[in-house]
Structure 1
C-alpha cells in the first residue's frame, strides 16, 4: 500500500512541479515588463538629446525651390483683392556633398552634418493663360523668388541666387504668401512677361543639419546627386534612388523625378498647394500653412538619413519580445535534465535562474549604449551563460549536465540572435526553430513517468 501511495506521489510531484515552474515563467514576465519600460525610457532620452543638440546646430533639412511667386489683382465684389500665383522650374538639378559629424550629449551620439549644395535649372514655359490671369492683372514689380529651407538657422554663408544676369541676395525678410513656409526670399523687380522667357538660375548653399537631408522635386524634371562620407545611409522619402553606391566609408546616390510622378501641378494660384516642411516618417502635416491649405508639396521629398547602426534600442526591444521563449525553453531543458537524471532542484533555484535570464536584457541595454548591439549581445549572453553554468554546477554536482545545459543556452541565444538579424525571414526561421524544439522536448519527455 505504501509503495502505491509513493508511486502516486512521485507522479503527482512531477506534475505539480511542472505547474509551479510554469507559474514562475509567468511571474518572471513582470520584471520583463519593467525592462521594456526601461528600454523605451532610454530611447526617449536619446531622442531628447538629439532634439537639444539639433536645436543649437540645425534640425532635419529639406530644400525646396526655387519657386517664382507673382502677386496679381482679381475682381471680387467690385473690389480688387490681392492674390498670389506660383510657378515651378522646368528643370532642377541638385548636387550635394555631405560631411557627417558626430556630437555627444552625455553618452548619446547625435548625427550632424554640413552639406555643400549646388542647385541650378531653368524656367522655360511660364503660362499665365493656364491660370486664367491676364498680364495686366499681374503686379510685376512685387514678384519674388522663394527658396524653401526647413531650418534657416543651419545656413553658414549668405545665399546669393544667380537669376539670368542678376545676382540676388536672399534673406528671410518676407513676402507674406500663405503657400510658403520657412525659407529665403529675394525680390525680382520684373517689368513684364518678357522677363520670364528662358530664365536660368543657380545658387550655392553651405548648410548645417542633423540626421536627414531631403530635397523636394519641384522641377518638371528634377535630378539629385548626393555624396557623403558615411557608410550607413537609410534612403527615405517618396522615391528611392535610381542609382546608389555604398562603400566601406561613403555612399553616392542619384535620384530622378518627373512631373508625372508627383501629385501637384507646375503652377497654381493662392494656397491650393503649399511648399512647407515635409511630414517626416509619414506623420501628419506640421507646416503652419497646412492649417489653411490642403496639399503639402514637400511631402513628396526624398533623400537620405545618416543612419547610426550603433544605436540598438529597437533591436534590444525586439529581443525582449523573445524573453518568454528564452525563459520557457531554458526551464524546459532544466526540468528535463533534472527529471531524467533523478536530480532535485528547488523552485526557488528555478526563480534565480529566471532572474539571471531577465538580467541578460539589462546587460544588453547597458552595453549597447556604448559598444553596439552585436558585441553587447555576445557579452551579455556569455555573462549570463557563465553565471547560470556556475550556479547549476553547484546544484547538480555534475560537469556533464552543466555542459549540456550551457550548450542549450548557447543554442537558444544564437537562435534568437539569428532571428533578430534576419528580419525578412524571422517568421520562417522562428517557426522552424520552434517546431524542432518541440520535437526534441517531445522525445525526451517520453522518458518521464508522469
Structure 2
C-alpha cells in the first residue's frame, strides 16, 4: 500500500473554525469599546440639552408650582423664633389656559408656556378651630394672605385679590424661611380673636410664565382644577390623575378634583412640620421626541446586533466554504458601531423614527455592498441585507415599546436563539477540520 501523499494536518488546520469562532467572540467584546464611547457621547449631548433647558427656563420661567391662597398668622410660641399658624381654604377652584410654545437654542428645543388662571373659593373659621393654640398667642394684626409660586420672576400681572368685595394688593414676600418662602403676600389684619373674619370668599386672576410643567397644591378641603391648552402631548404623571381628560390634535383639556383626605396635611397647623408639595398634581408639556432616551435604549442592544451579524457571517462561512479575514469582521463591526453615531446625530435634526430608518439603511447598504465585493457574491450580500433589515426592524419595535419592551425583547431573543440552535444542528461538525472535503458541511 502506497503511503499517503497528504501532509499531516496541524492543530490549527484541524481546529481552524473553532479558532475563528474564538476570534469572533473576542472581536465582539472589543467592539463594545466604541459602543461605550458612543454611549458617552449620548450622555454628553443629553447633559448639554439639560444645560440649555436650564438656561432657557432661568430666563423665561422655571417649572411652576402654584400654592395658595393661604392665611398666615404670626405665632408667639415658647421659642424666640417667630412661627406661623397656617389656615387653608375650605374650597379652591382653579380654571385656566396654558398657552404653549417652543423655544430653540441651536438644535435643542424647550417647551415653555404662558398661563392665565382664575382662582376662587372661600375660607372658613372651622379650620382655625382645629388648631390647639390660644388665640391670644397669635399676632392677628400681622396676618397675611400668601400665594406661592416657584419662580416669582415669571409673574406677568399685578395680582389683586377680591376678598368679600374688598381688594387686597399683593407685595413681595417678607416671611422668613418656611413652607411659603417663595410667595407673594397681601396684608390681612384682623382684630385679636376675631375668628369670624376668617369667613370669606375670594377670587383673583394670576398670569405667569413657566417651562415644561405646571403643578398645583391641593390646599383646599376640596380642590378643583380645570385646564385647557393647544399642546397635543401632555403628560399627567403626578400624585392625582385627572378626573377627566381629552387629548386630540387640537390640544388637551383636563380636570382634577382632590379632597383633604387625599393628602398628608390638615386644614390648619403651626410651624413647618408638613410637606405641602408631596401631593402636587398637574401637567407636563411633553416633547414627543426623546432623542437621547431612545438612543440609549438602542445602544443597549449593540452587543446583540454585532454578535448576531457576526454569527450570520460565520454560518455563511461554514455553509459556503468561504473565509472572511478577521480584519473584514472588524470593518463590518465598525460599520455597525457607526450606526449609533449616525442615529444620534440625525435624530437631533429630525424625527427619531425617520432618523433610525436613514441610519439603518445607510449602515445596511454599506455592509451589503462591502460583503458582495469581498465575497464576490451579490446573492450573499442581499441575504445579509435582508437579515440585518429584520434585525434592525426588531430592535426598533422593542425600543419603541415602553411597557412591553421586556416581553417583546425576551420573546424575540428566544426565537432568535431557537433559529440559531436549529441551524447549528444542520452543521456536520466532524468535517470542519477536513479542508480536503469539498462537500457542504451543512446537511
Kept in 2, the 8 Å contact 1:65–1:147? The answer is yes
Structure 1 segment 193-212 matched on structure 2, within 5 A: 193=194, 195-212=196-213
Looking at structure 2, the residues matched to 81 and 250 of structure 1 have their Cα atoms a distance apart, in angstroms, of: 49
1:26 to 29, 37, 48: 29
Q: Note closer, same or farther for the CA distance 1:128–1:244 as it changes in structure 2 (3 Å cut).
A: closer
Deviation at 1:3, TM superposition (A): 4.7
Q: Are residues 1:48 and 2:38 paired?
A: no
Query: 2:62 is matched with which residue: 59, 62, 71?
Result: 59
CA distance in 2, matches of 1:364, 1:18: 30
Matched, 1:379 2:349: no
Residue 240 of structure 1 and its aligned partner are, at CA, apart by 1.2
User: SS state of the match for residue 232, structure 2?
Assistant: coil
- Cα distance in 1 for partners of 2:316, 2:81 equals 87
Question: Which one is further off, 132-141 or 352-361?
Answer: 132-141
Looking at structure 1, the residues matched to 225 and 24 of structure 2 have their Cα atoms a distance apart, in angstroms, of 60
Show CA shifts across 1:181-201 (max 9, x none).
Answer: 201100012225255353101
- Deviation track 1:166-195 (CA, whole Å, cap 9, x = no partner) reads 111112141336332201100012225255
2:20 maps to 17
Per-residue Cα deviation, 1:382-430 (whole angstroms, up to 9, x for no partner)? 0000000010010111111111110110011011011111122222222
Q: Tell whether the 8 Å contact from 2:113 to 2:209 is kept in structure 1 after alignment.
A: yes
How far apart in 1 are the matches of 2:340 and 2:57? 30
The corresponding residue for 1:69 is 72
Three-state SS of the structure 2 residue aligned to 1:112 is: strand
Alignment correspondent of 1:447: 427
Q: 2: distance between equivalents of 1:376 and 1:26?
A: 27
Equivalent residue number for residue 216 of structure 2: 215
Residues 100 and 114 in structure 2, CA contact (< 8 A), matched pair in contact too: yes
CA distance in 1, matches of 2:177, 2:363: 62
The change in CA–CA distance for 1:157 and 1:344 in structure 2 (over 3 A counts) is same
On the 8 A contact 2:178/2:272 being kept in 1, the answer is yes
Q: 2:414 aligns with which of 435, 438, 441?
A: 435
Question: Mapping of 1:148-227 within 5 angstroms?
Answer: 148-176=148-176, 178-192=178-192, 193=194, 195-227=196-228
Give the TM-score taking structure 2 as reference length.
Answer: 0.92
313, 319, 323: which one pairs with 1:344? 323
Cross-structure match for 1:422:
401
Secondary structure in 2 matching 1:357: helix
1:23-422 alignment, distance < 5 Å: 23-74=26-77, 76=78, 82-176=82-176, 178-192=178-192, 193=194, 195-273=196-274, 296-422=275-401
The Cα of 1:340 is off from its aligned counterpart by 0.6
For the 8 Å contact 2:175–2:181, the answer to whether it is kept is: no
Q: How many residues align?
A: 425
> 1:283 — aligned with what?
none
Unaligned runs of at least 5 residues, structure 2:
433-443
TM-score by length of 1: 0.90
1:214-273 Cα distance to aligned partner (Å, 9 max, x none): 001100111111111111111132111121111023011111110111101110012223
Q: Could you tell me how far 1:139 is from its partner in structure 2? A: 2.1
SS at match of 1:66: strand
Which structure is larger by alpha-carbon Rg, 1 or 2?
A: 2
2:436 match: none
Which deviations, in whole Å up to 9, do the C-alpha atoms of 1:354-386 show, x marking residues without a partner? 000000000000011111211111110000000
Question: What CA RMSD, in Å, does the superposition of the two structures yield over aligned residues?
Answer: 1.9
Q: Is the 8 A contact 2:173 2:181 kept in 1?
A: no
Note if contact 1:227-1:252 (Cα within 8 Å) is conserved in structure 2: yes
Task: Please report how far the alpha carbon of residue 6 of structure 1 lies from its aligned counterpart in structure 2 after TM superposition.
Answer: 4.3
Task: Give the SS at the match of 1:167.
Answer: strand
Whether the 8 Å CA contact 1:128–1:135 is kept in 2: the answer is no
Change (3 A) 1:164 1:406: same
Cα 1:239/1:127, change in 2 over 3 Å:
closer
| Cα gap change, 1:184 to 1:81, in 2 (>3 Å) | closer
Q: 2:17 and 2:178 mapped to 1: Cα distance?
A: 76
Partners of 1:411 and 1:81 in 2: how far apart?
A: 69
How far apart, CA to CA, are the structure 2 residues paired with 1:308 and 1:228?
15
Tell me the SS of whatever aligns to 2:21.
helix
